[in-house]
């Protein structure tokens, strides 16, 4: 999916008009419409603001990844990344166990 398609999809999911989104990022609804029609490309600064308002990563908005991580998930990852290595290992052990259990439940449910 392209930036333009993701921008439209995310804006509509947040129930924002082009004008509303424009105000939140400091531009106009007309400019948002031009982004959505691929007439112009937003600057990195504007794209970053769009990602923040739409609660997605810039990588997701730009199409670099298809993994949709909201700001709460990204915030948790950032918190883990600054922990001491031993604490990170403990967090990852717990996560690995939860993921393993989830996959097992999913496999048996089918």
Kindly report, residue by residue over 6-46, the tens digit of the pLDDT. 999 999 999 999 999 999 999 999 999 999 999 999 999 99
- Whether 23 and 47 share a structural domain: yes
- pLDDT for 70 equals 77
- The reply to whether 9 and 51 lie within a common domain is yes
Share of the chain above pLDDT 70, in %: 100
Residues 86 and 52 both lie in one domain: no
Q: Which long-range contacts (CB under 8 A, 24 or more apart) does 74-83 make?
A: none
Domain match, 85 and 104 both: yes
Q: Are residues 53 and 76 in the same domain?
A: no
Domain that holds residue 91: 71-109
Question: Is residue 58 domain-shared with residue 82, that is, in the same domain?
Answer: no
Residues 102, 53 share a domain = no
Number of domains in the chain: 2
What whole-number distance in Å separates Cα of residue 79 and Cα of residue 64?
Answer: 23
Q: How far is CA 17 from CA 8, 9, 28, in A?
A: 10, 12, 11
Q: What is the pTM of this model?
A: 0.73
Same-domain status, 30 and 54: yes
Average pLDDT, the chain: 94
């Amino acid at each position: 999916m392209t930036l333009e398609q993701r921008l439209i999809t995310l804006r509509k999911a947040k129930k924002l008009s082009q004008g509303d989104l424009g105000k939140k990022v400091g531009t106009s609804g007309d400019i948002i419409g031009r982004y959505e029609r691929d007439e112009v490309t937003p600057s990195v600064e504007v794209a970053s603001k769009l990602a923040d308002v739409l609660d997605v990563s810039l990588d997701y908005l730009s199409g670099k990844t298809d993994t949709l991580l909201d700001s709460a998930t990204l915030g948790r990852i950032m918190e883990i990344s600054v922990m001491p290595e031993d604490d990170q290992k403990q967090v990852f052990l717990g996560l690995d166990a939860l993921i393993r259990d989830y996959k097992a439940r999913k496999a048996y449910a089918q």
